[in-house]
């Protein structure tokens, strides 16, 4: 109940500032009463719709300003979800959470209709009680600490892990407290076979990013418990741009494309400064077709050193 009261207060403030009618404000004030759960959720839904209607039809600079539009976002993220409390992070857009080094290259796609649609769909996931992974502020975690000119290797994944406490925002990586999924286990097996290193129980491939390895999923979110559920949201408009920006750089870059989905992105990678290596996906369903023997880690280092670049210390993940 306390969550609904906080949400109602936010909505009421917005309605007052926008000059809403007494009838509309009355709907929100009902949320402070001891209504049943279903009744409160219904009122929350009505209130959020009212704020949407006001922003959509109002020409006031104050109401249509970005700050008020972000307030609409936090209302959408929070309504009807008693387990999700709006925080300052939910006031942010995709452009806001994009690392600064990438904003100039991505600003147009991150402010596009497609990006706004993604934001709305993620809000709806929370509003309907589904949830998604990773959390909003981690959607661009793969880009953190790397500028476009820092990237030396790109490993493409498909979409984040769909289990709780798994997705980190980087392809194939899981948090340290989570057991390695089968695909990550198989990547470790390939590393052992290729370079003869002992992977052990703590295989943290996110450490590779410190050396310029980008672990990028082509879809950056997933509904909890439902793999590939967000593949139609429009994320590939954004991730295709990321791939194209890296491929256009003059810096020697290796693209490791594992599986048919990743290999379709090879059309975005051109020029002698780029090397594309392909192999079956590390999933148990396909790894036996040649992934374990692809030796991509050693092949990557051989090519990088031939281009005057330092080799990747792949064993740093072990």
β-strand pairing of 222-223 with 132-133: antiparallel
**Alpha carbons 35 and 30: distance in angstroms, whole number:** 8
Q: Are 211 and 316 in contact (CB under 8 A)?
A: yes
- Please give the positions annotated as active site: 159
Q: What is the DSSP string of the chain?
A: -HHHHHHHHHHHHHHHHTT--HHHHHHHHGGGS---HHHHHHHHHHHHHHHHHHHHH---TTTTSHHHHHHHHHHHHHTT-TT----GGGG--HHHHS-HHHHHHHHHHHTSHHHHHHHHHHHHHHHTT--EES-GGGTTGGGTT--GGG--EEEEESS---STTTB-SSTT-B-TTSPPPHHHHHHHHHHHHHH-----S---GGGGGGGTEEEEESS--EETT-TTTTTTSSHHHHHHHHHHHHHHSSS-EEEEEESHHHHGGGGG--STTEEEEEE--SSTTTGGGTTTT--HHHHHHHHHHHTTPPPP-GGGG-
Q: What is the rounded CA–CA span in Å between residue 72 and residue 65?
A: 11
Residue 34: what are its φ and ψ, rounded to 5°? -85, 65
280 and 291 Cβ atoms separated by less than 8 Å: yes
Strand partners, 256: 155, 277
């Amino acid at each position: 109940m306390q969550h609904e009261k906080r949400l109602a207060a936010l909505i009421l403030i917005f309605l007052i500032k926008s000059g809403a009618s007494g009838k509309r404000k009355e709907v929100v004030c009902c949320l402070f009463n001891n209504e049943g759960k279903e009744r409160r959720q219904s009122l929350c839904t009505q209130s959020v719709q009212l704020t949407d209607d006001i922003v959509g039809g109002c020409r006031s600079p104050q109401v249509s300003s970005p700050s008020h539009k972000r307030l609409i976002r936090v209302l959408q993220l929070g309504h009807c979800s008693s387990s999700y409390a709006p925080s300052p992070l939910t006031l942010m857009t995709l452009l806001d959470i994009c690392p600064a080094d990438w904003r100039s290259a991505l600003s147009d796609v991150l402010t596009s209709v497609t990006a706004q649609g993604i934001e709305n769909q993620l809000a709806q996931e929370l509003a309907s009680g589904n949830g998604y992974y990773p959390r909003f502020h981690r959607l661009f975690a793969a880009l953190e600490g790397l500028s476009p000119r820092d990237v030396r290797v790109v490993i493409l994944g498909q979409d984040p892990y769909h289990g709780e406490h798994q997705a980190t925002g980087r392809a194939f990586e899981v948090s340290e407290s989570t057991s390695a999924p089968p695909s990550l286990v198989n990547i470790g097996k390939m590393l052992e076979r290729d370079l003869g290193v002992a992977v052990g129980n703590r295989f943290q491939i996110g450490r590779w990013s410190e050396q310029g390895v980008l672990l990028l999923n082509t879809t950056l979110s997933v509904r909890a418990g439902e793999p590939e559920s967000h593949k139609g949201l429009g994320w590939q408009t954004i991730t295709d741009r990321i791939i194209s920006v890296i491929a256009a750089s003059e810096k020697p870059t290796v693209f490791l494309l594992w599986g048919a989905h990743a290999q379709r992105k090879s059309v975005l990678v051109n020029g002698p400064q780029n090397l594309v290596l392909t192999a079956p996906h590390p999933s148990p369903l396909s790894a036996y077709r040649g992934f374990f023997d692809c030796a991509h880690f050693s092949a990557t280092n051989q090519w990088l050193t031939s281009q005057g670049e330092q080799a990747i210390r792949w064993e740093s993940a072990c």
